[in-house]
Amino acid sequence: MKRLLLIHGAEVIALLLLSAIPLVVNNAYALGLLTLLAIYGILLIGLDVTVGYLGQINLAQAAFLGLGAYASGLSVSLLGFGMISALAMSLLVGLVFGGLLAFPALRLEGPQFALATLSFSALSETILNEWEGLTGGAQGLQISRPALWGHPVTAQGFYWLCILFLVIVWLAMRNLLSSQWGRAFEALRDSPIATDAMGIGTYRHKIAAFALGSALGGLAGGLYAFNFQYLQPQSFVYELMVILLLGVVLGGRKSLWGALVGASLIALLPNLLSNRLLFQIISILGFGIVLISGGRGLIQKTVRPFQAIAPMISMGLLVVGAALVTNTEDWRKAIFALMLFSVVVGLPEGLMGFAARFLSRIFHVPPAPLPSPASLDAALPAKSADNVPLLVLKDLKRHFGGVHAVDGISITVHSGRIHGLIGPNGSGKSTAVNVISGLYTPTSGSILLHGKPLPGNMFRVARVGISRTFQNLQLFTELSAIDNVMAAMKGVYHSPLPMVLLGLARREERRAQSDALALLELVGLQRQARVCAKDLTYGAQRFLEIARALARKPELLILDEPAAGLAYPDVSNLIKIIWDIHQRGITIILIEHHMDVISELCDVVTVLDGGRVIAEGSAEDVKRDPGVIEAYLGTANKITAAGVQELSANPG
């Protein structure tokens, strides 16, 4: 209750304050600034979806603002649209172009993604400039603010309309980002491979996130057009993009409040800079902040020296510049650059991230309580272990150029069994698993599940009931343990997107939470449910991977060297966990180097060497197989027992 009061109380106060200002302050200029603040708020919330949640540098948001603005402007002047339909048009243009750009940008990460968005912005600027017949080119486009359902809208009324849109966007995005969608976006940022392997789907979420962020950019553009009533392509260029990034980063990523704080700063910034005295005060304040926070970080050794010293130099330059330069307007870009540099290096979590830590210490906002764990039967329904062929590999091959990593293996895995897969390093175990789980397409041969061929991509394979863990951990590192499990949860989330946006999907959330708790209990992590995955111990991270894989309610679970690097007590825990999973009738393929783990658990063991099967049978049988001994220890025929005796009898 206290929690709800604090969080929503702050929102309501901010809303009341923002809405009441025009009643007190009767000044057209101030009203214009406030309107811009609300518009930037919407724009930055959209930008934060890609920059904060997807973790990609998106340089196209200014272009979407421009496209949205022209869409609204033109649909009013050419098609005679009213206010609402024109804004809907802007939203649609953002959504469609965002989706279109997301398709080629789909497979891209990091710099390539940034470049694709940068090209898109440059391209849309070219088009707005050159398509003079439609946009008026560099001359600009004059727009009159259309009526709202037949009523003319005053500047004040328009401000309240913008605030209304901001509130709607705020609420919808809060619902969305705290739902399965938000988790999927973050999962995608932390590990695209696991996002597919857990059946969450990278492509759909990347497109959705980008299209959504762009749609908000388009909407903001529509409002922007009706606010300024005059458009020029030059307003939506690279410099604005950098300012927008400044807003998101300075405010704080992954935070609605951060977007609002960032929006206020960038809306007011040009005014703050044009007054020299004000600018000097701000730069000195900023310098003070980096001195204190950097100095403290240095003394406590929580930051690298560069992270403390570089912002000091940068803000120091700003102070010196503020004292020397008479016309700050000329140096605007440099001022943005120095401020942004200090924030990115010295305060990477932004103002709100900084404030949130501070505020939570004062107010002690407890996290929402977790429900009690569900029964294991609900979270992980038992399967009948009827010992029929479940997964069949037929003459499976995977070559990388001349390397025959998997060179014709045929294995049958029976349902309900624990099937061991062993072999020396480089024998093709991991490649085989990567082919089964769809990461690699087979060079030849077939993989059948229940007699039907498996689809050849990771996402679809995960959807038909095969789940896996990774030898090199692929957790969603920034998510908590319980969110890691919930992100992969199957069969709980059914609500369509509109319901999620309206916040009507909370029951599913509770159910997912209690199911996830049950799975965490199974692997012994129920007490660490709220701990961020990257802060767990190595052993706990391995167990969390298993719990996450189980959230898929898999028919077949592939464990890729789950004991690698585990301390001894953890190995015995692991054996117990695998046994418990086995008891629920789930078929398991276990890849392992620890022979004791294999001997204790596996019903049948397949041994690989050089990409081929060299033995198969019970653990005891394969241990005695001469071919297996040779593969692991090398040939023994050169020095026979007799030979050794002979050697020792006749030394020299």
Partner 1 sequence: MITAQIVVSGALMGLVYALVAYGFQLTYATSKSINFGQGELVMLSAFFSLTLLDWGVPYWLMVPGGLLFGVLLGLFVERAAVRLALEQKSEGWILLTIIVGLLGFSAAENIWGRDDRPFPTPISSDALHIFGVSITPVEISVAIGVFALMGLIELFKRKTLLGKAFEAVSADREAAELMGISATRTVMLSYGLSGLVAAMAGILVSPITTVGPTMASALILKAFSVAVVAGLDSGFGVVIVGIFLGSLESLTSFYIGSGWREAPGLILLILALAARPNGVFGKAGIRKV
Residues within the interface to partner 1 (CB under 8 A): 55, 57, 101, 103-108, 110-112, 114-116, 118-120, 122-123, 126, 129-130, 193, 238, 242, 245, 249, 304, 306-307, 310, 330-338, 340-341, 344-345, 348, 400, 430, 434, 439-440, 470-472, 474
Helix/strand/coil (H/E/C) assignment for every residue in 122-157: HHHHHHHHHCHHHHCHHHCEECCCCCECCECCCHHH
Closest listed residue to residue 265, CA positions, set 280, 249, 254: 249
> Cβ closer to partner 1: 52 or 146?
52
What residue ranges in 433-573 does DSSP mark as E strands? 444-449, 452-453, 466-468, 556-560
Distance in angstroms (rounded) separating the CA atoms of residues 71 and 74? 5
Q: Least distance (Å) from partner 1 to the CB of residue 10?
A: 29
Q: Least distance (Å) from partner 1 to the CB of residue 234?
A: 13
Q: Least distance (Å) from partner 1 to the CB of residue 504?
A: 36
> Cβ closer to partner 1: 461 or 482?
461
> Cβ closer to partner 1: 55 or 611?
55
> Cβ closer to partner 1: 122 or 167?
122
> Cβ closer to partner 1: 363 or 400?
400
Q: Least distance (Å) from partner 1 to the CB of residue 167?
A: 30
Q: Least distance (Å) from partner 1 to the CB of residue 549?
A: 14
8 A C-beta contact, residue 259 and residue 104: no
Q: Least distance (Å) from partner 1 to the CB of residue 307?
A: 7
**CB 1: neighbour CB atoms within 10 A?**
5
Distance in angstroms (rounded) separating the CA atoms of residues 582 and 247? 51
> Cβ closer to partner 1: 249 or 406?
249
Closest listed residue to residue 411, CA positions, set 386, 426, 425, 429: 429
> Cβ closer to partner 1: 314 or 606?
314
Q: Least distance (Å) from partner 1 to the CB of residue 577?
A: 22
Q: Least distance (Å) from partner 1 to the CB of residue 214?
A: 15
Nearby residues of 523 by Cβ (< 8 Å), 6 or more positions away: 543, 544, 546, 547, 577
8 A C-beta contact, residue 612 and residue 408: yes
Residue showing tokens 């698993």: 433
8 A C-beta contact, residue 52 and residue 248: yes
Q: Least distance (Å) from partner 1 to the CB of residue 344?
A: 6
587-591/556-560 β-pairing: parallel
**CB 458: neighbour CB atoms within 10 A?**
25
Q: Least distance (Å) from partner 1 to the CB of residue 453?
A: 22
Q: Least distance (Å) from partner 1 to the CB of residue 129?
A: 6
> Cβ closer to partner 1: 331 or 543?
331
- Burial tier of 548 (Cβ tally within 10 Å: 0-12, 13-18, 19+): buried
Q: Least distance (Å) from partner 1 to the CB of residue 325?
A: 8
Q: Least distance (Å) from partner 1 to the CB of residue 420?
A: 20
8 A C-beta contact, residue 554 and residue 467: yes
Distance in angstroms (rounded) separating the CA atoms of residues 294 and 311? 8
> Cβ closer to partner 1: 33 or 325?
325
> Cβ closer to partner 1: 560 or 616?
560
> Cβ closer to partner 1: 333 or 576?
333
Give the tokens for residue 91: 């939203």
Q: Least distance (Å) from partner 1 to the CB of residue 330?
A: 6
> Cβ closer to partner 1: 337 or 575?
337
Nearby residues of 539 by Cβ (< 8 Å), 6 or more positions away: 566, 567, 570, 573
> Cβ closer to partner 1: 205 or 468?
468
Nearby residues of 177 by Cβ (< 8 Å), 6 or more positions away: 49, 53, 185
8 A C-beta contact, residue 628 and residue 420: no
- Burial tier of 625 (Cβ tally within 10 Å: 0-12, 13-18, 19+): middle
Q: How far is CA 528 from CA 352, 360, 480, 481, 535, in A?
A: 26, 20, 9, 7, 10
Distance in angstroms (rounded) separating the CA atoms of residues 87 and 106? 27
**Eight-class DSSP state of 53:** I
Q: Least distance (Å) from partner 1 to the CB of residue 247?
A: 13
Distance in angstroms (rounded) separating the CA atoms of residues 613 and 591? 14
- The amino acid sitting at 546 is I
Torsion sign (Cα): 81, 85, 87, 92: negative
> Cβ closer to partner 1: 58 or 175?
58
Distance in angstroms (rounded) separating the CA atoms of residues 360 and 54? 26
> Cβ closer to partner 1: 306 or 538?
306
